[in-house]
Chain A
């Protein structure tokens, strides 16, 4: 089967800073892939390249066999690329339900009752049903992260890009989040998850990429990647301990 997503020789620089020198990798349909890497490695930027927020200097993004380089974020979302942002981007003056409904109506192009059902199920799966009528601007951090996830799920994606959705959460909250992501993945949605909380990744993904210095410096089974000397080299401080504890 052809891969769902392919990055082909992607190159991106911000001024003198190289974010991606020559990044190529493919993600299979329904896969669960984690991405780790030091702060500022360019992980979020790479998501932007996939979702259409960031224009690469060179290289191709191929989604489902189609080169999507020229498509804007909305068009890519409608093709099936759903993403969350590291810093949540809720629609503050709209209710939680309305936040998710826009995604169902636009991203999934659903109408009427079907769009309502998509939105309600996305809220249910992210345990936000009880907050459906609250204004998004009144939510706390955990719920904002969940809303970000619910919105991406409501677009009925085939590929879900999660950018540090577990950051700043308690152990229990992280476990709940892992359940949500695993449930989405079990439904056949491919997941790429950027996360510093390594144990969340280990509970979810079966493949890990490590990004550093504009390159993919590790790609394979999570344990192998975390144990590789090159990956351990770039990790210092807390991240090293996290990596150590599982290696």
Chain B
């Protein structure tokens, strides 16, 4: 966030201003914890059963999607119910590339970029509307995309098509490769969300959320900020859709363009805690616990999960994470700022020790 030359020449008297950090407490251990969790997850395919590996893979896909929806709705105030448009487009991009002889796994980042590119013209359309109309417009776009793609015979029409190119892999190594691809995608998605919220853009989003008119008058380019978030969310949902195509080795319009994806993103985010990075993580865990325990009851897990989301939306709108940490002010992903105590020149002995070095690079 601090790359590039500062347009304003710095005139800072070193030492006369307090230090600025990104958290009141040291946070290095959180980074260590994060790395530890990712490394542990990377070894999971050799630790747990194939069935559990596949559950984790789907967990990563859902977490990627809900992190993106959280970014859209929780941070940028854009309630979309059409994110399945990008899930579907991501899946079909993989199919098209694989049909052309491209490795499906290597096609995942390309599919994400294609979705990001497609989000630009789509945003020109849906950004004309606000609130509920925006939400409905996104759904219309998703349905339109589904209809168009279902009508293309070479893509398998309404019944879809298998994804070629991975049949040479043994079931075991297929399982591992797709798992690691999903892990990479979810780490990038959550990491990108975190980096974005820590950046200047993140501060703009928070300001706009609190007072849009005030933010504009302080120089914040609100529409630009929303465009960037919409693009990032398309990128993430596209990658999630690409993962679906690769892991299921089959793409069907009714499945990848299903509005159920948006419903799950919303439920997960609402239950976990909207407007926090931790929320979708916790929400995804709850979702999978419920799904695993109620799987034999058919679609009941989704009904129970939806009901839970409604209950939480009404009585605990900050979600499980937000409610649990309201008093503690715990943050696994610190995005705020903390100003150290002013070093008073008139009382040299009273200055507290300087706070830990800021994790952000300083241009001064």
* Complex contacts, B336 vs chain A, CB 8 Å: 94-95, 98
Whether B328 is near chain A, meaning CB under 8 Å from some CB there, is: no
* Complex contacts, B204 vs chain A, CB 8 Å: 102, 105-106
Given the complex of chains A and B, what is the CA–CA distance between A111 and B360 in angstroms? 11
Q: Smallest Cβ distance from A184 to chain B, in angstroms?
A: 16
Segment from A15-23, A70-78, A227-235 that makes contact with B? A70-78
Question: Are B8 and A110 in contact, with the CB atoms below 8 A?
Answer: yes
Whether A63 is near chain B, meaning CB under 8 Å from some CB there, is: no
Given the complex of chains A and B, what is the CA–CA distance between A136 and B2 in angstroms? 25
Question: Are A102 and B218 in contact, with the CB atoms below 8 A?
Answer: yes
Segment from B205-213, B254-262, B266-274, B292-300 that makes contact with A? B205-213
* Complex contacts, B337 vs chain A, CB 8 Å: 95, 97-98, 101
B275-302, CB under 8 A of A: which get 1 and which 0? 0000000000000000000000000000
Residues A120 and B18 in contact in the complex (CB < 8 Å), given A94-B207, A94-B210, A129-B342: yes
Segment from B27-35, B86-94, B128-136, B219-227 that makes contact with A? B219-227
Question: Are B217 and A120 in contact, with the CB atoms below 8 A?
Answer: no
* Complex contacts, A113 vs chain B, CB 8 Å: 2, 10, 12, 362-364
A-B contact count (CB 8 A): 146
Residues A133 and B338 in contact in the complex (CB < 8 Å), given A102-B207, A112-B364: yes
Whether A109 is near chain B, meaning CB under 8 Å from some CB there, is: yes
Given the complex of chains A and B, what is the CA–CA distance between A36 and B134 in angstroms? 43
Residues A114 and B10 in contact in the complex (CB < 8 Å), given A90-B210, A93-B206, A133-B24: yes
B214 CB contact (under 8 Å) in A85, A97, A98: A85
* Complex contacts, A93 vs chain B, CB 8 Å: 206, 209-210
Whether A185 is near chain B, meaning CB under 8 Å from some CB there, is: no
Residue of A nearest to B361 (CB): A112
Q: Smallest Cβ distance from B71 to chain A, in angstroms?
A: 17
Question: Are B361 and A53 in contact, with the CB atoms below 8 A?
Answer: no
Given the complex of chains A and B, what is the CA–CA distance between A94 and B206 in angstroms? 7
* Complex contacts, A112 vs chain B, CB 8 Å: 1-2, 6, 360-364
Q: Smallest Cβ distance from A139 to chain B, in angstroms?
A: 13
Give the dominant DSSP class at A's interface.
helix
Interface residues on A, range: 35 or more
Given the complex of chains A and B, what is the CA–CA distance between A112 and B216 in angstroms? 21
Give the residues from 179 to 237 in chain B that come closer than 8 angstroms, CB to CB, to chain A.
200, 203-204, 206-207, 209-211, 213-222
Residue of B nearest to A77 (CB): B219
Given the complex of chains A and B, what is the CA–CA distance between A89 and B216 in angstroms? 11
Give the residues from 3 to 25 in chain B that come closer than 8 angstroms, CB to CB, to chain A.
4, 6-8, 10-12, 17-18, 20, 24
Whether B125 is near chain A, meaning CB under 8 Å from some CB there, is: no
Interface centre among A91, A93, A155 (most CB of B within 10 A): A91
* Complex contacts, B222 vs chain A, CB 8 Å: 74
Whether A44 is near chain B, meaning CB under 8 Å from some CB there, is: no
Residue of B nearest to A151 (CB): B218
Whether A221 is near chain B, meaning CB under 8 Å from some CB there, is: no
Given the complex of chains A and B, what is the CA–CA distance between A102 and B2 in angstroms? 14
Give the residues from 104 to 138 in chain A that come closer than 8 angstroms, CB to CB, to chain B.
105-118, 120-121, 124, 129-130, 132-133, 136
Question: Are B12 and A117 in contact, with the CB atoms below 8 A?
Answer: yes
Residue of A nearest to B4 (CB): A111
Residues A106 and B210 in contact in the complex (CB < 8 Å), given A111-B1, A113-B12, A117-B12: no
B12 CB contact (under 8 Å) in A77, A83, A114: A114
Interface centre among B1, B210, B339 (most CB of A within 10 A): B339
Whether A209 is near chain B, meaning CB under 8 Å from some CB there, is: no
A74 CB contact (under 8 Å) in B7, B11, B220: B220
A117 CB contact (under 8 Å) in B10, B342, B361: B10
Interface centre among B12, B200, B207, B217 (most CB of A within 10 A): B217
* Complex contacts, A115 vs chain B, CB 8 Å: 200
Question: Are B24 and A106 in contact, with the CB atoms below 8 A?
Answer: no
Whether A103 is near chain B, meaning CB under 8 Å from some CB there, is: yes
Residue of A nearest to B18 (CB): A120
Residue of A nearest to B275 (CB): A93
Q: Smallest Cβ distance from B270 to chain A, in angstroms?
A: 18
Q: Which 3 residue pairs across A and B have the least CB separation, nearest first?
A: A107-B219, A113-B364, A89-B214
Further contacts, 10 of them, CB under 8 A, given A95-B337, A151-B218: A51-B217, A74-B219, A74-B220, A77-B218, A85-B213, A105-B203, A107-B219, A108-B8, A114-B8, A114-B364
Chain B interface residues toward A at CB < 8 A: 1-2, 4, 6-8, 10-12, 17-18, 20, 24, 200, 203-204, 206-207, 209-211, 213-222, 336-339, 342, 360-364
* A/B interface sample: 15 pairs, CB < 8 A: A51-B217, A53-B213, A94-B210, A98-B206, A102-B207, A102-B215, A103-B219, A105-B200, A107-B219, A109-B8, A110-B8, A111-B6, A113-B362, A120-B18, A133-B339
